[in-house]
């Protein structure tokens, strides 16, 4: 029975995951090396809860109870004491994740389940550095976590059926829809989504159409709520590039090669919403999309 959960990483995904677990009755330890990141995360969670109160989705008492179930830690060793599940939501960097899981393997009891929110890195590879590969699993939440219903549950080569079932039912308790998938590069979501985004960038790079035109075709023609270039900005172009590199390396197929334009934009620091500019200029906010001056028609 899972009652106490630790979430490692207080960024966008980590604070969303902590929010959801706390909202649905779990005691949550949110862990990050940076006090500033933890403070920012709690502010974000409170704002999101306020929005839910204003929309009458939760009451003021439920908001207070949710915040009351959240504790923050800068020490991983302190934060994971007494938990039955750890969800790692650190940066999408394989060396960092392997380091975290080696540490978790050493400092948590053998029966603690170790989950990762990775969007593309092999669960089997992560599990291999632990002393309990049968209890390592992927829980790939979608952003924004409090809103999006899907959780990809990824079974590594050694993940047990019992752990998989427990994590599926735990995800259901968060009012999410868990989908079980096997451990291959990109899983399902990003194996399909990222090549589409990459192809949209290639289409722009080759001058077939402009930013607005590409996004309009996909929104109005394919009923996508957001065009692929706007979505890439929202996800983060650096994240898109990292996932394409995992797909390319994992399959060795040229169709997964990242577009040179994507590579150059990330090198130039144009990472989308997080940096203020990508295919669109985000410095003004998000209400009215302004195409970045690098792509605006002359």
Rounded distance, CA 4 to CA 238, Å? 33
- Same-domain pairing of 228 and 203: yes
Tell me which H or E stretch contains 215. helix 211-216
- 8 burial (CB, 10 Å; 0-12 / 13-18 / 19+) is buried
Which of 143, 163, 182 is the last residue in one of the domains? 182
Reported as a pLDDT band with limits 50, 70 and 90, residue 296 is: confident
Does position 249 have pLDDT exceeding 90, yes or no?
yes
- Same-domain pairing of 135 and 159: yes
Residues with catalytic annotation? 119, 140, 152, 190
Encode pLDDT of 53-92 as tens digits. 999 999 999 999 999 999 999 999 999 999 999 999 998 8
108-117, 226-235, 284-293: which has the minimum mean pLDDT? 284-293
pLDDT (0 to 100) of residue 69: 98
Q: 87: closest CA among 174, 185, 160?
A: 174
pLDDT (0 to 100) of residue 287: 61
- Same-domain pairing of 39 and 177: yes
Place of tokens 């800068």: 74
Residue 233 falls inside a structural domain:
yes
Q: Is the pTM of this model over 0.85?
A: yes
Q: Specify the higher pLDDT residue, 288 or 205.
A: 205
Rounded distance, CA 219 to CA 230, Å? 11
Residue 296 falls inside a structural domain:
no
- Same-domain pairing of 18 and 88: yes
Which of 120, 154, 182 is the last residue in one of the domains? 182
pLDDT (0 to 100) of residue 18: 98
- Same-domain pairing of 139 and 216: no
Share of the chain above pLDDT 70, in %: 99
Rounded distance, CA 27 to CA 13, Å? 18
Which of 135, 159, 182 is the last residue in one of the domains? 182
pLDDT (0 to 100) of residue 92: 86
Encode pLDDT of 128-157 as tens digits. 999 999 999 999 999 999 999 999 999 999
Range of the domain at 174: 4-182
* Cβ-Cβ contacts under 8 Å for 221 (sequence gap 6 or more): none
* Cβ-Cβ contacts under 8 Å for 55 (sequence gap 6 or more): none
């Amino acid at each position: 029975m899972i009652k106490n959960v630790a979430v490692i990483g207080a960024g966008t995904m980590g604070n969303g995951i902590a929010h959801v677990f706390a909202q649905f009755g779990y005691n949550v330890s949110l862990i990050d090396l940076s006090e500033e990141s933890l403070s920012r995360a709690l502010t974000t969670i409170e704002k999101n809860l306020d929005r839910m109160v204003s929309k009458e989705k939760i009451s003021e008492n439920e908001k207070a109870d949710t915040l009351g179930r959240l504790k923050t830690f800068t020490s991983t060793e302190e934060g994971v004491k007494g938990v039955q599940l750890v969800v790692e939501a650190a940066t999408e960097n394989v060396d960092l994740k392997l380091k975290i899981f080696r540490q978790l393997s050493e400092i948590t009891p053998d029966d603690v389940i170790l989950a990762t929110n990775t969007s593309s890195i092999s669960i089997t590879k992560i599990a291999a550095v632990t002393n309990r590969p049968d209890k390592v699993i992927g829980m790939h939440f979608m952003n924004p976590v409090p809103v999006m219903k899907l959780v990809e549950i990824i079974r590594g080569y050694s993940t047990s059926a019992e752990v998989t079932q427990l994590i599926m039912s735990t995800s259901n308790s968060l009012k999410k829809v868990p989908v079980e998938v096997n451990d291959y590069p990109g899983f399902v979501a990003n194996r399909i989504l990222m090549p589409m985004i990459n192809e949209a960038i290639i289409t722009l790079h080759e001058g077939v159409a402009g930013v607005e035109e590409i996004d309009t075709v996909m929104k109005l023609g394919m009923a996508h709520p957001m065009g692929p270039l706007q979505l890439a900005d929202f996800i983060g172009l650096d994240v898109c590039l990292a996932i394409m590199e995992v797909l390319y390396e994992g399959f060795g197929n040229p169709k997964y090669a990242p577009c040179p334009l994507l590579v150059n934009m990330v090198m130039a620091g144009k990472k989308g919403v997080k940096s203020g500019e990508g295919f669109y200029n985000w410095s003004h906010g998000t209400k009215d999309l302004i195409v970045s001056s690098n792509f605006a028609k002359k």
